[in-house]
Amino acid sequence: MSEQQHILTIGTNRDDNDIEEVISRFKTNKKPALSLFVAKRYYAMRQYHDAYNYALITNELDSENEESWLIAAKALVKLGDKEKAMHLLNKFIARSDSVRAKMVLAQIENGTLE
């Protein structure tokens, strides 16, 4: 018989520190990769207003960045503005014909967006 082992992992939540560090770097060099990182992190932390704002900043810096459009739309849905999210995605789809954006739009329309 084997003995069961219990492993305890102890860590720290560095999300806030990580974000502040990246925001500071972003303010210095305005790279869209950094603002996208912040948008994604805020979305993962369920801070949808901040995620939306940083996704918009990314869109302004790089209007072809598919991921920033998707995060902005998903954040809008989480904030209760489904219509604005669909409008935003339709605008992006018209320009890009993005398959991923079409999939997210369908999820929003069907109420299946997670």
Domains of the chain: 15-110 (1.25.40.10)
Q: pLDDT digits over 32-71, tens only? A: 999 999 999 999 999 999 999 999 999 999 999 999 999 9
Decide if 85 contacts 74 (C-beta within 8 A).
yes
- Residue pointed to by tokens 């305005």: 30
Helix then strand count (H, E) for the chain reads 6, 0
Average pLDDT over residues 73-97: 97
Alpha helices in 45-111 (DSSP H): 48-61, 66-78, 82-96, 99-110
The two structure tokens encoding residue 41: 């992190």
| % of the chain exceeding 70 in pLDDT | 86
Give the CA count within 13 Å in the CB-facing half-sphere of 89: 27
Three-state DSSP at 19 gives helix
Residue 2 has pLDDT above 80, yes or no: no
